[in-house]
Chain A
Amino acid sequence: MRPFDPRLVRELPQTRAPVAALGLLGAAAGVAAIGQAFAIAWLVTALVGGGSLWAPAVTVATILAVRGILSATTEVTATWAGARVAGVLRERILGRWSRATADDRPAPERMLTISTHGASSVEPYVARYLPALVAAAVVPPLAIVTLLVVDWSSALIVVATVPLLPVFAALIGRHTQEATQRRWATQTRLAGHFLDVMRGLPTLVSYGRAEKQADQVAAVGDRHRIATVRTLKIAFLSSAALELLATISVAIVAVWTGMRLAWGNLDLQVALTAILLAPEAYWPIRRVGQEFHAAADGAEAIDALLADVPPACFAGRESMSVRDLSYRYPGANVDVLQGISYAVRPGLTVVTGPSGCGKTTLLELLAGLRTPTAGAAEVPRTHLVTQTPFVLPATVADNLALGTGASPAQIAAACAATGLDRVIAGLPDGTATLLGDNGFGLSAGQRARLGLTRAMLSDAAVVLLDEPTAHLDPASARQVRSVIRDLARTRPVVAVTHDPELAALADAQWPLTERVPA
């Protein structure tokens, strides 16, 4: 895995400012850390030499105050950058998906995971790992170059030992990889057990198995502890080995400068600067390794979030017709629709045919939500009312403005036309009533009328309806049929239906025949 994916800044201009800010702050913090080494050395030399402490002490306090301000600013910036980058990536992928057809999107569960937790895991990647990466890229070279100027022989020791850190890390990694991988599967299974049992708790309780699982939870928890500690020991050991390596390297510098001091070949202030600079070449490299573990999920998620999704092309034609249209679901081995040709005329067209012959799929093709496998569909802008019209957990007015941008006056007129106004009159807060999970529940008939009202408000050239009268009681179905009739006077309406009374009102019939699966 690459330490930093350049596509992040190349493809998303909005991420450049936060990433650049982190880079600048990291560089400034590096310079301040180098300055601190000089200031402390100055202070101690002045102290030992009996000189005035005022200037060096104020310098030390000032440099540390500057480092404090830089560190606080970095924290705030990193958090902002994390939230911003994760947000931009989330908006990007959701935007791409919602402009593509169903055929080019991943499975729904994967879409959910990537856009919720996947995007959130980018936050620690940006907020903690990136600053560590910047520090690792800036501080060690800066420290080494400074050390070269101050005391070149100490610098040589550092130059010779710093590369050992990544080499050692790689060696340890390769050596422990097999053991880690061998345990990974077991550990993942054990770690997932509790979540699995908890999510299934209602099922376990319902079948009287919950008490029996409690001992299992305790036993698996214990096995998980043993397995995890075994894996962690490897990680801790390698981190201890790297720390020891860094410490020994710094100690070599200290002993070398100490020896030269004792021989009288070195100035005290130079020696102090050298031993204070040397550690700055090592710790940023170790820290980036530590932070990477926490950020690995984020790095993986970035890859998924930057995925390329081809946008659907909406032709935006004047009229609607299909020629030799075929469609096959991804992964299926037979076409659900084959060689369909039809031209939609003004008025109400009903699509009829037995269950499972692909009527809903046809509507989705007409709406441009799927890409035909073969043939062509010429479609203008459409508005598709799905079988269960979509209701957002928001107010009635919000739901009617959804995708239509309708004003309150337009909404009122459309509601009067479809009879939704009578439904609204019965709601506790009128059009301000909250719908959805935590709000008011609409009955099937009320929901159907809401969907039709929204269709009426939309500026689409053609309205597509999927089983608009299914599940409705006779009175509601009657009202809905009359609304559909009115709607069909304003623009072409294509309705998939099993309802003979609706079919009887149609200006044209579009029969589909069933394709027997092989």
Chain B
Amino acid sequence: MKPLLQPARRIVPAGVLGGIAVACGVFLTATSGWLIVQASTRPVILTLLTAVVGVRTFGIGRPVFRYWERVISHDGALRDLAERRTETYRSLIPLTPARLGRRRRADLLTGVVRDLDDEVDVQVRSLVPLIATLVASVLAIVVAFVLLPVAGAVVAVLALCAVALGVVDGALERRGQRDVLAARGEVQRIAHLYAANTVELQAIHAVDDLARQLAEAQAAAERAARRQVLGRAVGLGGSLLLTGLGVGVMAYAVSGPLGAGALAAPVAALLVFLPLALGDVLGLVPDAVGALVRARVARRRLVGLVDQEPAVADVARERLTPAAPTLRLVDATASWTGAAEHLPPTTLTLAPGEKVLVTGANGSGKSTLLALLARQLDPSAGRYEVDGRDVRTVSLAGIRDLMAVVDDDPHLFNGTVRANLLLAQPDATDRELDAALVHAGLGRWLAGLPDGLDTQLGTGVRGLSGGERARFGIARALVSGRPVVLLDEPVAHLDRPTATAVLGDLMASADRRTVVLVSHQPVLTEAFDRVVALDASPAPPLPSSIGGSS
């Protein structure tokens, strides 16, 4: 990964341009002071005109340079964003899905997108203003030094104090940042719980309990935010305090040479105005520091995620292309983290076309079993064989190409219905897509779409109900034509009649495919050849084999 503070292309030039813009502002104020005092000496009008030209140049220069800086800095930052996004995306592919946590992977990935935004914010919000402040300060020091060396020293001390202030600000903000994030996360979690379960909470009159929890979490978040903002407050307040001291000290510093006749009165006024104008510039530092602190936290999270070892070793190149594979686990165990064992040693043979329901309470290892079969995890002990071959001796893609995995939250991409199905099998014909949707129980839904397969899906366009999404995931699995369908709680969010209907349609259309369905509750047991119970609680009675494989 690129270092956080590495300036993107064109960011340093943008910072210099920004510095010139800021310096224009500083010199605009300073020359105005010079102009007024010079005018009060009632000189020849011509000498005033040079100052008028200066005022005009700096007045026009500030917006022009600022515009220029903003365009190229944003262009550079957006280029950097695109590069970092692509790089992060590529490095996440081998970590998907096993290293992205076990639930709510989409939310984790949304967090990655936000973190990348925060990381790139450093370019425009921290690097550019900090470089600009540096450039403007150096220019101000040089000008002051040329006019009166001791004045240059005063400006330099002022700038150094501002740096120290920025460091204090950063330290204070960093200290509070973690608490703020934790407290905000807790508020979001409770608000989510509250909003997503309104009916359930009303049903048991527990609304007030949640309201109380929310109020407590919000009070804690408020306290954390107030603690953290101290850094920013010190930064902003301190820069004004420094400005006042700078102006006062500068007035004393120039009064000597002025009284001795070594310095003209207009120049003395210019020098007094200089720290005043520079104070406005130093006020930009707290914002830059804040963006930096946010970015560092985001960076730490990203590194923690991306710097993981993939959960599966992809070393062998040979591919397998059986039409109807036999899957066999032999005393296989697996782990998501490498530390604890999440599946007890399991031996299981799945004949081609067999329909198996795996049940068990949370934590009994059902999802781990499915991840092992899908080769999202490699066995930490024991073996996993496909048609008698140990999976580690064949290519990862070769195994995964045999499996269609349907999870509890199938993602619908922004795009047409067709594109959403074709990603499972780019060569599928429209007739095959129609058939898959009908088999997944979406025939009537499809018939009601305004543009059929060309209808747009995705955010903000067309909402699908939970049942329709589950069915769409199944349709995708059917389109893929893959001989094994693995379903991880596909109907967990659905009410029972819908769940039964969805699974019934699936079993009816799965024909020769192998189906493994994981569910924490036994559903539609009569449609399966076998029920494997993974926990100690007694399994439901096994019905005689009436599965859809006939």
Chain A interface residues (CB < 8 Å from chain B) = 40, 43-44, 47-48, 50, 53, 56-58, 60-65, 67-69, 71-73, 75-76, 79-80, 82-84, 87, 90-91, 94-95, 97-99, 102, 105, 107-109, 111-112, 114-116, 119-120, 189, 192-211, 213-214, 217-218, 221-222, 224-225, 228-229, 232-233, 236-237, 239-241, 243-244, 247-248, 250-251, 254-255, 257-259, 261-264, 268, 271-272, 275, 355-356, 360, 364, 367-369, 381, 383-387, 390, 392-393, 401-404, 437, 440-446, 454-455, 458, 460, 464, 467, 470-471, 473-475
Q: A258-B39, A275-B36 are in contact. Are A471 and B269 (CB under 8 A)?
A: no
Q: Are A107 and B211 in contact (CB under 8 A)?
A: no
Contact among A203, A251, A440, A460 for B59, CB-based, below 8 A: A251
Q: A44-B269, A229-B71, A272-B36 are in contact. Are A115 and B520 (CB under 8 A)?
A: no
Q: Are A64 and B60 in contact (CB under 8 A)?
A: no
B413 on interface, CB distance cutoff 8 Å: yes
| Interface locus among B131-139, B141-149, B222-230 | B222-230
B478 on interface, CB distance cutoff 8 Å: no
Within 8 A of A (CB), among B231-251: 232-234, 236-241, 243-245, 247-248, 251
B residues less than 8 Å from A445 (CB atoms): 537
Give CA–CA (A61, B240) in the complex, Å.
Answer: 9
Contact among A64, A240, A475 for B66, CB-based, below 8 A: A240
Contact among B89, B405, B500 for A217, CB-based, below 8 A: B89
Contact among B48, B64, B96, B198 for A97, CB-based, below 8 A: B198
Q: Are B244 and A68 in contact (CB under 8 A)?
A: yes
Q: Are A390 and B201 in contact (CB under 8 A)?
A: yes
B106 on interface, CB distance cutoff 8 Å: yes
Q: Are A83 and B225 in contact (CB under 8 A)?
A: yes
Q: Measured between C-beta atoms, what is the minimum distance from A200 to chain B in Å? A: 4
Q: Are A98 and B226 in contact (CB under 8 A)?
A: no
Against A, the Cβ 8 Å flags (1 = close, 0 = not) of B29-44 are 0001101110110110
B residues less than 8 Å from A229 (CB atoms): 71, 74-75, 78
Q: List 4 tightest A-B contacts by C-beta distance, closest first.
A: A441-B362, A64-B244, A221-B82, A72-B237
Q: Are A271 and B413 in contact (CB under 8 A)?
A: no
Q: Are B78 and A225 in contact (CB under 8 A)?
A: yes
Q: Measured between C-beta atoms, what is the minimum distance from A514 to chain B in Å? A: 12
Contact among B85, B269, B535 for A443, CB-based, below 8 A: B535
B512 on interface, CB distance cutoff 8 Å: no
Q: Measured between C-beta atoms, what is the minimum distance from B327 to chain A in Å? A: 17
Most buried by B among A62, A94, A199, A248: A199
A residues less than 8 Å from B540 (CB atoms): 473
| Interface locus among B189-197, B341-349, B377-385, B431-439 | B189-197
B506 on interface, CB distance cutoff 8 Å: no
A residues less than 8 Å from B197 (CB atoms): 390
Total A-B pairs, Cβ < 8 A: 411
Q: Are B413 and A196 in contact (CB under 8 A)?
A: yes
Contact among A189, A197, A455 for B89, CB-based, below 8 A: A197
Give CA–CA (A224, B236) in the complex, Å.
Answer: 35
Q: Interface majority SS on A: helix, strand, loop or mixed? A: helix
Contact among A115, A368, A381 for B195, CB-based, below 8 A: A115
Q: Are B82 and A471 in contact (CB under 8 A)?
A: no
Give CA–CA (A232, B228) in the complex, Å.
Answer: 32
Q: A68-B240, A232-B70, A443-B535 are in contact. Are A115 and B202 (CB under 8 A)?
A: no
B497 on interface, CB distance cutoff 8 Å: yes
Q: A43-B251, A364-B199 are in contact. Are A76 and B205 (CB under 8 A)?
A: no
Q: Are B218 and A90 in contact (CB under 8 A)?
A: yes
B residues less than 8 Å from A199 (CB atoms): 106, 109-110, 411
Q: Are A205 and B236 in contact (CB under 8 A)?
A: no
Against A, the Cβ 8 Å flags (1 = close, 0 = not) of B62-103 are 111011001100110011011101100110110011001001
Contact among B103, B251, B523 for A53, CB-based, below 8 A: B251
B105 on interface, CB distance cutoff 8 Å: yes
Q: Are B211 and A94 in contact (CB under 8 A)?
A: yes
Q: Are B251 and A202 in contact (CB under 8 A)?
A: no
B residues less than 8 Å from A64 (CB atoms): 240-241, 243-245, 247, 279
Most buried by A among B35, B191, B234, B247: B191
Q: A195-B113, A196-B413, A262-B39 are in contact. Are A98 and B75 (CB under 8 A)?
A: no
Q: A68-B239, A91-B211 are in contact. Are A402 and B204 (CB under 8 A)?
A: yes
Q: Are B520 and A189 in contact (CB under 8 A)?
A: no
Q: Measured between C-beta atoms, what is the minimum distance from B376 to chain A in Å? A: 8
Q: Are B67 and A240 in contact (CB under 8 A)?
A: yes
Give the number of chain B interface residues (Cβ < 8 Å). Answer: 147
Give CA–CA (A382, B112) in the complex, Å.
Answer: 44
Q: Are A90 and B32 in contact (CB under 8 A)?
A: no
B residues less than 8 Å from A111 (CB atoms): 195-196, 198
Q: A48-B268, A247-B59, A356-B497 are in contact. Are A254 and B36 (CB under 8 A)?
A: yes
Q: A228-B78, A229-B74 are in contact. Are A94 and B203 (CB under 8 A)?
A: no
Contact among B214, B243, B265, B522 for A471, CB-based, below 8 A: B522
Q: Are B229 and A47 in contact (CB under 8 A)?
A: no
Most buried by B among A383, A443, A444: A443
B residues less than 8 Å from A195 (CB atoms): 110, 113
A residues less than 8 Å from B75 (CB atoms): 225, 229
Closest to B400 in A: A208
Closest to A118 in B: B191
Q: Are A454 and B204 in contact (CB under 8 A)?
A: yes
A residues less than 8 Å from B45 (CB atoms): 262
Sample of 10 A–B contacts (CB below 8 Å): A75-B237, A76-B233, A83-B221, A90-B214, A94-B214, A193-B414, A199-B110, A202-B105, A218-B86, A239-B67
B50 on interface, CB distance cutoff 8 Å: no
Contact among A47, A202, A261 for B96, CB-based, below 8 A: A202
Q: Are B269 and A47 in contact (CB under 8 A)?
A: yes
Against A, the Cβ 8 Å flags (1 = close, 0 = not) of B4-46 are 0000000000000000000000001000110111011011010
Give CA–CA (A210, B96) in the complex, Å.
Answer: 10
Give CA–CA (A62, B200) in the complex, Å.
Answer: 60
Q: A75-B233, A369-B203, A471-B521 are in contact. Are A67 and B113 (CB under 8 A)?
A: no
Q: Are B79 and A225 in contact (CB under 8 A)?
A: yes
Q: Are B414 and A99 in contact (CB under 8 A)?
A: no
A residues less than 8 Å from B66 (CB atoms): 240, 243
Q: Are A69 and B218 in contact (CB under 8 A)?
A: no
Give CA–CA (A115, B187) in the complex, Å.
Answer: 10
B489 on interface, CB distance cutoff 8 Å: no
Give CA–CA (A292, B221) in the complex, Å.
Answer: 25
| Interface locus among B254-262, B328-336, B447-455, B542-550 | B254-262
Q: Are A403 and B40 in contact (CB under 8 A)?
A: no
Q: Are B229 and A240 in contact (CB under 8 A)?
A: no
B368 on interface, CB distance cutoff 8 Å: no
Give CA–CA (A142, B42) in the complex, Å.
Answer: 31
Contact among B71, B79, B229, B410 for A236, CB-based, below 8 A: B71
Q: Are B52 and A360 in contact (CB under 8 A)?
A: no
Q: Are B32 and A208 in contact (CB under 8 A)?
A: no
B residues less than 8 Å from A189 (CB atoms): 414
Given contacts A105-B198, A444-B521, 8 further A-B contacts (CB under 8 A): A61-B248, A87-B222, A94-B210, A199-B411, A205-B96, A221-B81, A272-B36, A360-B495
Give CA–CA (A458, B103) in the complex, Å.
Answer: 33
Closest to B116 in A: A194
Contact among B48, B60, B207, B362 for A98, CB-based, below 8 A: B207
B residues less than 8 Å from A217 (CB atoms): 85-86, 89
Q: A97-B198, A199-B109, A243-B63 are in contact. Are A76 and B89 (CB under 8 A)?
A: no
Q: Are A97 and B195 in contact (CB under 8 A)?
A: yes
Q: Are A198 and B89 in contact (CB under 8 A)?
A: yes
Contact among A43, A71, A119, A275 for B191, CB-based, below 8 A: A119
Give CA–CA (A417, B412) in the complex, Å.
Answer: 47
Q: A57-B248, A198-B113, A251-B59 are in contact. Are A443 and B537 (CB under 8 A)?
A: yes
B residues less than 8 Å from A444 (CB atoms): 520-521
A residues less than 8 Å from B160 (CB atoms): none
A residues less than 8 Å from B112 (CB atoms): 198
